[in-house]
A and B are shown apart, each in its own frame.
Chain A
Amino acid sequence: MDIFANLIDGFATSLLPYNMMMITLGVVAGLFIGAMPGLGSVNGVAILLPVTFLVPPTSAIIFLGAIYYGAMYGGAISSIMLGIPGASTAVATTFDGRPMAIKGEADKALVAAAVASFLGGTISIILFTLFAPLLADFALKFGPAEEFALMILAFSTFIGLGGDSILKTLFAIFFGLALSAVGLDVVSGQSRLIFGDITGFYHGINFLVLAIGIYGIGEILWTMEIDKGNVSLSKANVSLKRIFKAIKELKNTWGTVLMGSFLGYFVGILPAAGATPGSLMAYGIAKSASKTPENFGKGEIKGVVAPEAANNAASTGSMLPMLTLGIPGSPTTAILLGGMVIWGLEPGPLLFIDQREFVWGLISSLYTANVFTLLINIAFIPAFIAVLKMPFTILAPIIFVLCVVGGYAPTNDMHDVWLMLIFGLGGYLLRKLNYPMAPVVLAIVLGPLAERSMRQTLIGSHGSPMVFIERPLSLIFLIISLFLFALPLLKKLNLRKKLESL
């Protein structure tokens, strides 16, 4: 078994004391960030990525992967204790987690969330370990034409499945791609889009500047608005005895956990879907499959278990296309992908050959991170509940300062800090008008790769665009994209037909 040997090699990397420390730090940071109302994995990864510049890439990705994981667990804490989702990915957890807390079963809900997260995580990592090498192997056959078609496919999922206004989604994609074109033209070496002849634009717009602006500054502004109201913290009495009792009571929910894990994993792979819709879908299915659907919303434990298993599974799922194809499956993995470029790695299937230590170190670290998160989470439930009492007016300025330093770090240029502020404020205002932000971040990361693969293909074919439909795989990707682009229209027509037939 090739996979097995690779995995053991990976563990040799990820179990090094230094990397174990990175996992622990990442998990704790992730749990805290996830537990803060409003902040989730994407915010944590965006704000903390600049901090990782000086550690080796493998340790850096292990650290960020652990944050991703920890934040998925942590989100449940605020959902259950405050009734405010700790991150958008934990929205579905509030439906039954909050009623359980009100009934005085907060500890049971917290333990159920942690165990379900662990199982969802573990199942999805096993799926990941089995699928990733196969997919990477297959993707090795891709040329620039297939790469380009695949990116079109990634963007089309936002149109077909995103659920936001199509025009605004399209605008967001175009905008992100256009921003990525600022600076130098990779083919001719000429400078372009130097707005107002400001020299800071010559080095291009770093994706981190945009990501920190939107997910740091913009997110805090967004949360400030929601956080104004008074919220009450539920009481949880936690003891070892009660924890064991709660774990025992989870026996009846394993079917729900399995469903949530598989669903979450596969939904997570799609760039436009991911953990939030994945967990909502899992909740919906758990409810409709239940013999007592009327209990849902009133504190049904399956209503906590399903979304929590799904959101952790989805976070692993979104790493699959990132690692094997170089196409991120979520905004968080888009930022991880951008980080890989900064660390000097070439994203794509070749990673599995050229950077085996990096790839398998990351995969094996997910197993470890998952166990660590479960233990740290359950052991320190009271500590994480204390986090919720921390006033936002202390947290917010600290995060703003981190954003400013993080925006400055990649290029040592104040120009980027100003740009980050503009993106943060502008992004906040546009988000209020329902412009989706995830496609912009994905587009600015994929932009340079998309343009390069498109122009490489065209140089190779002496300028003939027919090459995109002459290569079978590229054609298949484009046909699926076309279908996804048409999907909202088809839905509308279908709806109209139904209305007419009434």
Chain B
Amino acid sequence: MKRADLIAALVLAIISFYMMLKSMELPIGWEAGKGPGGGAFPFWLSAGMLICSVLIFIRNLAGLSLESKDTQPFMETETLKLFLTVSIALIAMIGAIHIVGVYVSVPLFVAFYMRHLGKHSWTKTLVISLTIPVVTFLFFEKLLLLLLPKGVTEEWFYIFF
């Protein structure tokens, strides 16, 4: 926990610093008669973030914060495995939407999740992973008229509209 807390504080400090630099593209100073410039608000907020993350880092090193005394691992091996599996599956699903669209990528994701993580029977897996895209289509595209990305499968749907 102690190490994870330190790494997180460091990463957050870098992000804060980057945001400060980005804010400086607009005036951050006080403009006479008008108050702060367009970059001032985000600049000082990022500066506040930087100060906080540096202090979190220091307090951890000095052994003052709760996390620095916590000897439990940040993630158990089993949790880490689960987290990585789900994260990668999500990244793959969202990535695949760009290419093959929602209606191919979503059923594959649901099927993978149910079969691999849930150990459900093939029948159950197939029924649910095929029902979800149909319901999604009817609800979002037909009822709410919200077009979802379809990638190369775009033409398959012409007959439905």
Contacts and interface: CB of A to CB of B under 8 A. Distances in A.
B5 A433 contact: yes
Main secondary structure of the interface of A (DSSP, over half): helix
A140 interface: no
Contact of B22 (A51, A195, A391, A425): A195
B98 interface: yes
A194 B136 CA distance: 33
Interface stretch (A123-131, A163-171, A290-298): A163-171
B114 A51 contact: no
Given A171-B52, A391-B120, A434 B35 contact: no
B55 A401 contact: no
Interface string A416-453: 01100100010011101110000000000000000100
B114 A397 contact: yes
B41 A451 contact: yes
Interface in A393-411: 393-394, 396-398, 400-401, 404-405, 408-409
A225 B110 contact: no
Contacts of B98: 414
Given A178-B42, A178-B49, A408 B149 contact: yes
B19 A193 contact: yes
Given A178-B46, A433-B4, A458-B34, A190 B26 contact: yes
A391 B121 CA distance: 13
Contacts of B63: none
B130 to A, nearest CB: 13
A398 B107 CA distance: 10
Contacts of B136: 401, 405
Interface string B45-72: 1101100110110010000011100000
A175 B53 CA distance: 11
Given A168-B52, A393-B120, A404-B93, A192 B148 contact: no
Nearest to B112: A397
Interface string B90-119: 110110011000100010011001100111
Given A193-B42, A224-B86, A433-B8, A398 B66 contact: no
B78 to A, nearest CB: 8
Nearest to B105: A404
Contact of A463 (B22, B33, B41, B149): B33
Given A414-B97, A455-B36, A463 B31 contact: yes
A188 B49 contact: no
Contacts of B146: 53-54, 409, 412
Contacts, number: 162
Interface in A212-262: 217, 221, 224-225, 228
Contacts of A405: 102, 136, 140, 148
Nearest to A176: B45
A137 interface: no
A177 interface: yes
A430 B8 contact: yes
B52 A170 contact: yes
Interface string A82-105: 000000000000000000000000
Contact of A174 (B35, B52, B82, B132): B52
B12 interface: yes
A54 B82 contact: no
A181 interface: yes
A185 B39 CA distance: 8
Nearest to B139: A51
A171 B83 CA distance: 25
Given A393-B113, A414-B97, A217 B36 contact: no
Contacts of B120: 391, 393-394
B48 to A, nearest CB: 4
B128 interface: yes
Contact of B132 (A53, A393, A401, A409): A401
B144 A53 contact: yes
Interface of B: 1, 4-5, 8, 12, 18-19, 22-23, 25-26, 30-39, 41-42, 45-46, 48-49, 52-53, 55-56, 59, 65-67, 74-75, 78-79, 82-83, 86-87, 90-91, 93-94, 97-98, 102, 106, 109-110, 113-114, 117-120, 128, 132, 136, 140, 144-149
5 contacts: A54-B145, A224-B86, A394-B128, A429-B8, A455-B35
Given A167-B52, A177-B41, 18 more contacts: A167-B56, A171-B12, A178-B46, A185-B26, A188-B38, A192-B23, A192-B26, A217-B90, A224-B82, A224-B86, A401-B106, A401-B110, A404-B106, A414-B98, A417-B97, A434-B66, A454-B41, A455-B35
Interface of A: 51, 53-54, 165, 167-168, 170-171, 174-175, 177-178, 181-182, 185, 187-188, 190, 192-195, 217, 221, 224-225, 228, 391, 393-394, 396-398, 400-401, 404-405, 408-409, 412, 414, 417-418, 421, 425, 428-430, 432-434, 451, 454-455, 458-459, 462-463, 465
**What are the 9 closest A-B residue pairs judged by CB atoms, nearest first?**
A393-B118, A458-B35, A185-B38, A397-B113, A171-B52, A181-B42, A178-B45, A174-B48, A397-B110
